[in-house]
Amino acid sequence: MRLTSCQPKPDLPNHTYMAVIDTLKLARALRDKGGFTEDAAEATAEAINDALGPQMASKADLDQAMERLRSDIRLLSWQIAVTWGLQVITIIPGAWLLLKMAAKIGVL
């Protein structure tokens, strides 16, 4: 039975941890509330953990993903501001020139 909430996954860089199910807690619930025998509860809990464990994200995984998203949003906000600023800088003088040319030829 695994008692920890996560364990190292050696094939991932930087000592990344993968989430695992608390199989002891699950086995007890299957036994006490689900009517499973002790052996059936343990086997089921281990099978569920083996099937789902590598696909589950730990809190650290989610925190890391959130920080990457925040960083990407900050970068995109900056890029949008710069792009908008450059467009304003380009459009206003261009519009001014068009107005001056239109006034010169008598369109306005």
Confidence category of residue 28, pLDDT binned at 50, 70, 90: very high
AA letter at 37:
T
Residue 17 has pLDDT above 60, yes or no: no
Averaged over 50-61, what is the pLDDT?
78
Contact status, residue 13 vs residue 37, Cβ threshold 8 Å? no
Give the residue, 21 or 34, on which the prediction is more confident.
Answer: 34
Domain ranges of the chain: 1-56, 68-108
Residue 4 has pLDDT above 50, yes or no: no
**Residue 8 parent element (H or E):** strand 6-8
AA letter at 88:
V
Q: Is the dihedral of CA 98, 102, 103, 105 positive or negative?
A: positive
Report the distance separating Cα 94 and Cα 104, nearest Å. Answer: 15
* pLDDT, tens only, 58-95: 788 899 999 999 999 999 999 999 999 999 898 998 89
Q: pTM of the entire structure?
A: 0.46
pLDDT for position 18: 55
Percent of the chain topping pLDDT 70: 80
pLDDT for position 15: 47
